Amino acid sequence: MDIQGTTMPAVVHALTRAATDTLLIELRHPDAAGRLPAAQPGDHIDVRLGKFVRQYSLCGPATDGRYLICVKRERGGRGGSSALHEELRVADTVQVSAPRSKFPLVRGERTLLLGAGIGITPLLAMAEALWDDGAAFDLWFYAPDRGRAPLIEYIATRPYAERVHLRLSSVGQSARTALPDSLDRADPDTQIYVCGPTGFMEHVRSHVRAAGWADEQLHQETFSLNAEAAAGLVTGDEFTVRVASSGEAYQVPSGTSIADVLRFNGVDVELSCEQGICGACLIPVLAGTPDHRDEVLSEAERAANDQMTICCSRARTAELTLDL
Amino acid sequence: MPAALTIPRECTFDPDDWRIIARYWYPIALATEVGEAPLGVKLLDQPLVVYRVDGETVIADDICPHRGVPLSLGTGDGRGIGCAYHGFRFGSQGRCVDVPAHPQAKIPSRLNLRTYPAVERYGLIWTCLAADAETEPEIPSHPHWDEAEFQRINCPWIDIAAFAGRQVEGFLDVAHFSFVHLKSFGNPDNTVVPDYAAVPTDDGFEVEYWSSVSNYPIGVVDRGEPGFQWLRHFRLHVPFTATLVVHFPDGARLSIMNAASPVSARMTRMFAPICRNFDTDQPVQAVYDFNRIVFEEDRAIVEVQKPENLPLDPKLEVHVPADRSSIAYRKALRGLGLGSFFTA
């Protein structure tokens, strides 16, 4: 998967150990006086290192011109987090995307933030914004123990630190035993934000539903490679795809794949995995430049731009002509 | 050394595919099976006879050049083997050394057997039907096999009535443990496959697969730490050999080679040399037994898969992310120029 949309260089200003196997990375504009584009609380960015492109939530203040991301080394992952841990050095330049929103903060009368493990990161950006607004909020932070609670030293330096309630399963306070009492009573003026492992979020969701909260009051972001990939795979600018044999042209909106558009219009295409891993839907490209988002093509094949996977890849040009 | 590559009689493979896979090295027998008596085996539809003469291992076409009787029906005495029909004798390098009907006559050179190179490695006899005299034997590496603290175990081979490619793909598969291996090590409640990547290598690819699926036999008290993350390090060497190193707690390692020898397009002899650095004082019969259960569980599936060949075109079967190994395997085989192997 490539970075979606335009990229910009950012310089690694500082690397800090934020917990066991967890790295806090501060990115800055290459010019000392420059500022990276402002973000919204809850935004994430794409970061490219070598062949890896990964999404990370911003965890610092959204508008100070710097990006703070926190990366946990995933031993079972696909190599992106390990590459960042092993290869990244202070003063390196990396390519990043502009901030994107998938987890926007909707201001309510009161806000409850619940994070577990590395899922704390977008919630810290929200806490920062809510504090600046003088809003009523609390942040409940669940971790196995202090050594595996990312960013606790960083949190202690922030003005909102007094609103953060650390709950450690090592002392018997897990999400199963120590959810905040305020979740037990549904309150129409409170918004709830949850981020963490799937099991944690499912537990909070069932607890909240049982207590009578409305679904619209619960906002959540999953930290899962598949969910991230599925959600991000086919978003991007709208473009036109043209079928060479018939000359017909179709619009491909954001969130819809070329294959879906073609099939909707009665053009027969063969698909298998539908997520850019198998190569069954590779189609020759006659004109235009693809935006390759699969993991099938090699670097050289990508650069040739003469074929593409139509289940997930998009266009860098306004129009693509496919040999169909 | 074969002068020219001849497609075997009644070849079950597509001839173009046969010429490609005949270039690779395969085990054809356990070293302990081969002695003075002629042993008949088959590789890629080619019947072969294997025997030892003065310590030398001879591999030749299993047919007497005189009147076409399989030499594996004959007898051997350590100095050569004799044909069951007219007693013609063959010795070192497959040379004909005696025609009993005419003890004093010149022996025609066409009575010499067509032979193939023999290499003993991992307790197995390896050969190649299309070996070039100049090229070194290319036998895939077996992790840890030569390390002193490892115990080397040669499990009996298992015959599988299926194509080698299907069998190897089953060995690489990480999503079937909870369904197929319920008598050996699988956990029916642990079905989710964490993401992993297949990384290309010079002759295939490798996968480091991390999961919580234990490798202890069912019924054995879990000796691992709770929550232990198991690493299974797979390496695939085209076309039909794979290795797996299972990383147990406390530095214990189990290294398994799955060398699928393609007897024909629909028959595979699976050799499994195993080495380990734990329980090295335990009897190997337990390893044989456990290995047998695991591979029998796999065999039941592999023998019923349709189509019988391995569909290399990604359009022909459906792929999910857990299949990254399978996708990489089929891609690597396509990269050799292989097609459909045979028509099911």
The domain spans of chain B are 15-127, 151-335
Local structure of B62: helix, strand or coil: coil
Examine the predicted complex and report whether its ipTM is higher than 0.90.
no
Whole-angstrom Cα distance, residue B181 to residue B177?
A: 5
Q: Report the range of poorest mean pLDDT among A73-82, A229-238, B312-321.
A: A229-238
Given the structure tokens 């009907």, which residue do they identify?
B101
Whole-angstrom Cα distance, residue B30 to residue B34?
A: 7
pLDDT band at B1 (very low <50, low <70, confident <90, very high): very low
pLDDT of residue A224: 45
Residue B108 pLDDT more than 80? yes
User: Span A275-282, mean pLDDT?
Assistant: 91
Task: For residue B197, list chain A residues with Cβ-Cβ distance below 8 A.
Answer: 78-79
CA distance to partner chain A, nearest, from residue B333 (Å): 14
Mean pLDDT in chain A? 87
pLDDT of residue B240: 98
Closest to B262 measured CA to CA, from B163, B130, B122, B121: B163
Tens-digit pLDDT profile for residues A184-208: 999 999 999 999 876 788 788 888 9
A-B contacts at Cβ under 8 angstroms: 45
pLDDT of residue A226: 41
CA distance to partner chain A, nearest, from residue B93 (Å): 46
Task: For residue A225, list chain B residues with Cβ-Cβ distance below 8 A.
Answer: 195
User: Which residues does B198 contact at the CB level (< 8 Å), separation at least 6?
Assistant: B205, B206, B207, B324, B325, B327, B328
Residue A250 pLDDT more than 70? yes
Residue A227 pLDDT more than 50? no
Q: Could you tell me which chain B residue has the CA closest to the CA of A76?
A: B210
* Between B246 and B134, the higher pLDDT residue: B246
pLDDT of residue B225: 63
pLDDT of residue A156: 93
pLDDT of residue A229: 45
Task: For residue B319, list chain A residues with Cβ-Cβ distance below 8 A.
Answer: 272-273, 277-278, 280
Q: Report the range of poorest mean pLDDT among A77-91, A308-322, B43-57.
A: A77-91
pLDDT of residue A275: 86
pLDDT band at B2 (very low <50, low <70, confident <90, very high): very low
Residue A316 pLDDT more than 50? yes
Local structure of A83: helix, strand or coil: helix
What is the third-level CATH fold of B151-335? Naphthalene 1,2-dioxygenase Alpha Subunit; Chain A, domain 1 (3.90.380)
CA distance to partner chain A, nearest, from residue B321 (Å): 7
The pTM score is 0.67
Amino acid at B216: Y
User: Span A51-58, mean pLDDT?
Assistant: 79
Which of 216-235 (B) contact A at CB < 8 A? 229
User: Span A12-25, mean pLDDT?
Assistant: 92
Whole-angstrom Cα distance, residue B95 to residue B114?
A: 9
Structure-block tokens of residue A30: 């290459």
> What is the SS3 string spanning A247-298?
CCEEEECCCCCHHHHHHHCCCCCCCCCCCCCCCCCEEEEEECCEECCCCCCC
pLDDT of residue A70: 94
User: Span B282-291, mean pLDDT?
Assistant: 91
Q: What CATH number does the domain located at B15-127 have?
A: 2.102.10.10
Q: Could you tell me which chain A residue has the CA closest to the CA of B311?
A: A280
CB contact A301 to B (< 8 Å): no
Task: For residue B323, list chain A residues with Cβ-Cβ distance below 8 A.
Answer: 273, 277-278
Whole-angstrom Cα distance, residue A242 to residue A106?
A: 40
CB contact B190 to A (< 8 Å): no
Tell me if B315 and A270 make a contact (CB, 8 A cut-off): yes
pLDDT of residue A177: 83
Residue B57 pLDDT more than 70? yes
Whole-angstrom Cα distance, residue A3 to residue B322?
A: 24
User: Span A118-132, mean pLDDT?
Assistant: 94
Q: Where are the beta strands (DSSP E) in chain B?
A: 26-30, 39-43, 46-53, 56-61, 75-76, 81-82, 89-90, 96-98, 115-116, 119-121, 124-127, 151-154, 158-160, 198-201, 204-211, 230-237, 241-247, 253-264, 267-271, 273-276
Residue B224 pLDDT more than 60? no
Tell me if A79 and B315 make a contact (CB, 8 A cut-off): no
User: Span A32-43, mean pLDDT?
Assistant: 91
Residue A1 pLDDT more than 60? no
Residue A113 pLDDT more than 50? yes
pLDDT of residue A79: 64
Tell me if B321 and A275 make a contact (CB, 8 A cut-off): yes
Residue A255 pLDDT more than 80? no
pLDDT band at A115 (very low <50, low <70, confident <90, very high): very high
Longest dimension (CA), chain A: 68
Tell me if A278 and B323 make a contact (CB, 8 A cut-off): yes
Tell me if B195 and A225 make a contact (CB, 8 A cut-off): yes
Mean pLDDT in chain B? 93
User: Span A274-285, mean pLDDT?
Assistant: 92
CB contact A75 to B (< 8 Å): yes
Residue B308 pLDDT more than 90? yes
Whole-angstrom Cα distance, residue A206 to residue A175?
A: 12
B13 touches B343 (CB < 8 A) = no
pLDDT of residue A306: 96
> Which neighbouring-strand residues pair with A282?
A309
pLDDT of residue A225: 40
B57 touches B46 (CB < 8 A) = no
User: Span B269-284, mean pLDDT?
Assistant: 94
Residue A232 pLDDT more than 80? no
Residue A46 pLDDT more than 90? no
User: Span B32-49, mean pLDDT?
Assistant: 97
Closest to B213 measured CA to CA, from B242, B240, B238, B188: B188
Q: Report the range of poorest mean pLDDT among A11-15, A84-88, A110-114, A230-234.
A: A230-234
Structure-block tokens of residue B314: 């990604």
Task: For residue B317, list chain A residues with Cβ-Cβ distance below 8 A.
Answer: 272
> Which residue from A78, A270, A280 is facing B197, i.e. has the nearest CB?
A78
Q: Where are the beta strands (DSSP E) in chain A?
A: 7-19, 22-28, 44-49, 52-57, 67-72, 93-97, 110-116, 136-143, 164-168, 190-196, 218-222, 239-243, 249-252, 282-287, 290-291, 307-309, 314-315, 319-322
Residue A2 pLDDT more than 80? no
> What is the SS3 string spanning B94-137?
HCEEECCCCCCCCCCHHHCCCEECCEEECCEEEECCCCCCCCCC
Given the structure tokens 């009147």, which residue do they identify?
B67
Local structure of B151: helix, strand or coil: strand
CA distance to partner chain B, nearest, from residue A295 (Å): 10
Tell me if B196 and A78 make a contact (CB, 8 A cut-off): yes
pLDDT band at A233 (very low <50, low <70, confident <90, very high): low
CA distance to partner chain B, nearest, from residue A50 (Å): 15
The DSSP code for A100 is: B
pLDDT of residue A165: 95
**What domains appear along chain A, each with residue ranges and CATH number?**
7-97 (2.40.30.10), 110-227 (3.40.50.80), 234-322 (3.10.20.30)
A250 touches A241 (CB < 8 A) = yes
A277 touches B327 (CB < 8 A) = yes
